[in-house]
Structure 1
Amino acid sequence: MKILFRRLHLYLAFAAGLVFFVQCLSGTVLVFEEEITRALYPARYTVAVPAGQPRLSLADLSQRFQQANPKYKILGYKVYADPARTVEVTFKDPNARPEGPPGGRMGGEGRPRGEGRQGGDGPRRGEGQVGKESPERGEGRMGGGPGGRGPGKGRPERGSTAFLNPYTGQVTATQSQQQLPLFKWAEDLHRRLLAGEVGKALTGLSALFILVITATGIVLWWPKTPHMLAGHLRVKWSASAKRINHDLHLALGFYCSLFLFGIALTGVIMSYQWATKSLFTLTGSQPTAPLAAPKSAAPGSSRAVAYDAALQAGQRAFACAEFWRVGIPRDSAAAVPVAAPSTLALRHNGLDTLFVDRTTGAALGQHLYARQSAGAQLRRLAKPLHTGAIGGLWTKLLALVVTLCSLTFPITGTVLWWNRTRKQRQRGKRLVAA
């Protein structure tokens, strides 16, 4: 049986090794994308807080922004609890070209733009339904329709982002693309190998292979006797180069195996629809059914929407939130959606949504992330588990260490195979000579 496992481990490693190496390399670039972007563009995200000066209301910020940019259509607001943070205004520029993923259309799992991420968009126009969305884009977010991208077909609009000083109304920066070119390129390399749908199929297949490689690797690593365990858990640096290579592959492979299996498993879930369906089957749950957003008591003009009252209602309902998103009603009767990160442990990437009457600011109903089905919540966790963002900085550091260690596996594994093959050839030559 061990021979079968060794062959599976070897052949699948050869098949997926190069793709795995490229994914690990690009993954190291993407782990701290948010932190690097904030460090490179601090003016986008923070301002000096003037003593004794209150923030401007959303109505004032909107008026100043529209006066300077009359052709732009505001799609939503994102207000942070931190008084030093800018207010993010998502807007639609009629002259801007729509942004698309490099290398072809993005299929399957999509990046959850703005889910607690800096420079992310605010809530899109309320599309009248909540709950049935792309699993990765989060239950509780405004907008119906699969994928949650682009106008038309029931999908919320996506636009550019303006960063406004909340005390002066000045636009400190604008962002027309969701990612910096380097990260956009790295993500396309990571998810599609710069080869569109063909590359996406290869990366999904690679994730499947890594699951088998990791499982068979543990079987092959398992020591025959207890006294051999210590030798499998450490690297003997004083030994020969061959022994060091052998120990690196075994020891690092064991320490990274559980995390690597989780990364590969979440990659499979994000790559294949059947994996998502299997997740719902295993949890005995169904995708969350779409819920109709409530209507305001009395229809009103689009220019007379009480966004500040809606924001205040959201701040009362979600008092401990890091930020609040205020959406634009879909029509003259729709309620104003206000969303905030879920308070569930390790679920801050999910959103709780409050619907507010557009004229009175009265709360009309809530759509809480905690009410989503178990399968929907687990599917929503796939992205932060995959990237290491689920626990903040420390889990990101752990993901970076695991990814850097994983870069060595294709190299040390190939050297192991080469040494073993050369040894077998030499043994065969000696037998022939004898």
Structure 2
Amino acid sequence: MSKPKQKTSTWIKFRKFLNDIHLWGGLISGIIVFIVCLTGTIYVYNTEIRAWAQSNYHQVDPAGEKWNADELMAKVKPEVKGKVVGIKIPFADDAITSILYSKKEKDGEGKSGEGKSGEGKPEPRTGEGKPAEGKASASLRGTKQSSEPAETTKPQEGEKKPAAPAGGGGGRGPRANQLAVNPYSGEIIGDPADEKTKTAEFMQKMFGLHRWLLLNEIEEPLIEGVENRKLGSWITGTATLLFLLGVITGMVIWFPNKIRSWRNGLKIRWTANWKRVNHDLHNTLGFYSCIILFLMAVTGPFWSFDWYRSGWQKTWGTYKSPDAPKEEKKPLLSIIPADGKAPMTIEETILAANKVLTYDGDLTINFAKDSTGTVSISKNRVGFFAPSAGDKLTLNQYTGEVLEKDIFREKPFNERASASIKALHIGDIYGPFTKLLYFISCLIATSLSVTGVMIWLNKMKKKPKRK
């Protein structure tokens, strides 16, 4: 009979040890975690909120028939103040068609800082108010505006943004501006990046608070030799690591000694006193959201610490040393036909892409840069459960032959997991479905700091038992 008692005693001591880690880790990081989770809750729907604030640039009344893509381009192109580099054709009937273009150097470079269009095919900038984010958006794109390493070292597969083309490009390249066009009337609505809104400014503040606690807005370094942006990133990253520790220890603490007591941890007793209700809110809601909280917490420090970023990539076998020689990939080229055949029209390009990617989705076409360049196509599925990762094709601009195919589902699991870190962090994995789950879980994470502190205060107020 002594052995079971010994095991029970050891388990109780172990749980107490974990409980102390859970408690003090939560108390130390509580305020920072509350701020990060609250701003994260809002930022889950960043794209949707920005689009709502500029709905005229994103939605249109589907009246009549849509223009042929080539006719629409022929009408709009002369009025574009810059070089047209592509077109974005959404699947939804009420969505705006976007003409992708790079602004002229005198108009665009100093304004948007996107660089010269000759550095590769520009990527489309969505109407999410990216230019308004300033330094914040640059870090998400993997560009460098400070001494801090880029937040994403390569394009994230989980993003609903077409990556740089495989051929005829020369790197990721700058992002293209998007000119919104009504596909039913041919009317040019404008570039959403040229219009500043209070909503975009607010979301910019939320992102700065989430990533750097707004320390990026302070010019003078708070600590000599350390950039404020980096300091803020370290603070939020450390708090996120403590939160991750809290999620893991909380799960172990949650498991009761007896199986028959499990049901108590799965429900909230609303009829009990407020202290018990507060305890159940912390316990039960934490349990139901633990998987998503773990994913958010385990991916968060990726943008704060070099060692964490390298460790993540090494874990999935995708790490590439900065000192390693870069593999020179032979550029893909289109062969100019001997019979003088003209390049494919936009409609022919759409048909060629849909023959390979047969599902319904939004298409982004980057035109060939010159007579031997290739056409780059990105397609994203649509629907409530649609995966956010897109598929990419590189086509011969004359024949439509597939020169390179990049299908996300066909990649090895380790590559998909490593490339989807941003999608795993913000919930953009399976479209609106996972976004909703992340929004609810982020709300719960915000409440855990409050309910946890209240549990600790209630225990502190307890009178010592009489001997």
Report the count of equivalent residues: 395
Counterpart amino acid of 2:212?
R
Worse overlay, 178-187 or 280-289:
280-289
Q: Write out per-residue CA displacement over residues 381-426 of structure 1, whole angstroms, 9 at most, x where no aligned residue.
A: 3233322332333322222221222222111111121222232xx4
Cα distance in 2 between the residues matched to 1:187 and 1:47:
29
> Normalised by the size of structure 2, how large is the TM-score?
0.73
> Normalised by the size of structure 1, how large is the TM-score?
0.78
Cα distance in 2 between the residues matched to 1:260 and 1:197:
24
The answer as to 2:433 corresponding to 1:386 is no
List alignment gaps of at least 5 residues for structure 2. Answer: 1-13, 114-130, 144-152, 216-228, 321-325
Worse overlay, 323-332 or 4-13:
323-332
User: CA 1:162 to 1:102, structure 2 compared with 1: closer, same or farther past 3 Å?
Assistant: closer
Matches of residues 117-132 of structure 1 in structure 2 within 5 Å? none
Hey, what does 1:142 align to over in structure 2?
164
Hey, what does 1:260 align to over in structure 2?
293
Matches of residues 320-339 of structure 1 in structure 2 within 5 Å? 320-339=359-378
The structural deviation recorded for 1:197 is 2.3
User: CA 1:110 to 1:214, structure 2 compared with 1: closer, same or farther past 3 Å?
Assistant: farther
Cα distance in 1 between the residues matched to 2:170 and 2:331:
18
Over the matched positions of the two proteins, sequence identity in percent amounts to 24
The answer as to 2:223 corresponding to 1:186 is no
The structural deviation recorded for 1:233 is 2.7
List alignment gaps of at least 5 residues for structure 1. Answer: 113-131, 145-151
Hey, what does 1:133 align to over in structure 2?
154
Hey, what does 1:421 align to over in structure 2?
460
Cα distance in 2 between the residues matched to 1:294 and 1:419:
67
Task: Report SS of the residue matched to 1:349.
Answer: coil
Asked if structure 2 preserves the Cα contact closer than 8 Å seen for 1:101 and 1:188, the reply is no
Matches of residues 63-212 of structure 1 in structure 2 within 5 Å? 63-69=74-80, 71-94=81-104, 95-96=107-108, 97-98=111-112, 104=135, 110=141, 133-135=154-156, 141-143=163-165, 154-176=171-193, 180-195=200-215, 196-212=229-245
User: CA 1:258 to 1:364, structure 2 compared with 1: closer, same or farther past 3 Å?
Assistant: closer
Asked if structure 2 preserves the Cα contact closer than 8 Å seen for 1:356 and 1:362, the reply is yes
Cα distance in 1 between the residues matched to 2:138 and 2:15:
38
Hey, what does 2:264 align to over in structure 1?
231
The structural deviation recorded for 1:327 is 0.7
Worse overlay, 226-235 or 95-104:
95-104
The structural deviation recorded for 1:335 is 0.9
Cα distance in 2 between the residues matched to 1:182 and 1:157:
25
Counterpart amino acid of 2:393?
L
Cα distance in 1 between the residues matched to 2:87 and 2:57:
15
Worse overlay, 233-242 or 16-25:
233-242
Asked if structure 2 preserves the Cα contact closer than 8 Å seen for 1:56 and 1:168, the reply is no
Cα distance in 1 between the residues matched to 2:386 and 2:302:
18
Task: Report SS of the residue matched to 1:353.
Answer: strand
Asked if structure 1 preserves the Cα contact closer than 8 Å seen for 2:58 and 2:180, the reply is yes
Asked if structure 1 preserves the Cα contact closer than 8 Å seen for 2:136 and 2:204, the reply is no
Matches of residues 341-352 of structure 1 in structure 2 within 5 Å? 341=380, 348-352=387-391
Cα distance in 1 between the residues matched to 2:287 and 2:278:
14
The answer as to 2:69 corresponding to 1:57 is yes
The structural deviation recorded for 1:86 is 2.0
RMSD of aligned Cα (Å):
3.6
Worse overlay, 359-368 or 200-209:
359-368
Hey, what does 1:216 align to over in structure 2?
249
Task: Report SS of the residue matched to 1:316.
Answer: helix
Task: Report SS of the residue matched to 1:407.
Answer: helix
The answer as to 2:32 corresponding to 1:19 is yes
Q: Write out per-residue CA displacement over residues 9-52 of structure 1, whole angstroms, 9 at most, x where no aligned residue.
A: 1221122211211122112212233333444444323334444x
Counterpart amino acid of 1:142?
A
Q: Write out per-residue CA displacement over residues 91-148 of structure 1, whole angstroms, 9 at most, x where no aligned residue.
A: 2233241266758466765499xxxxxxxxxxxxxxxxxxx9334576982258xxxx
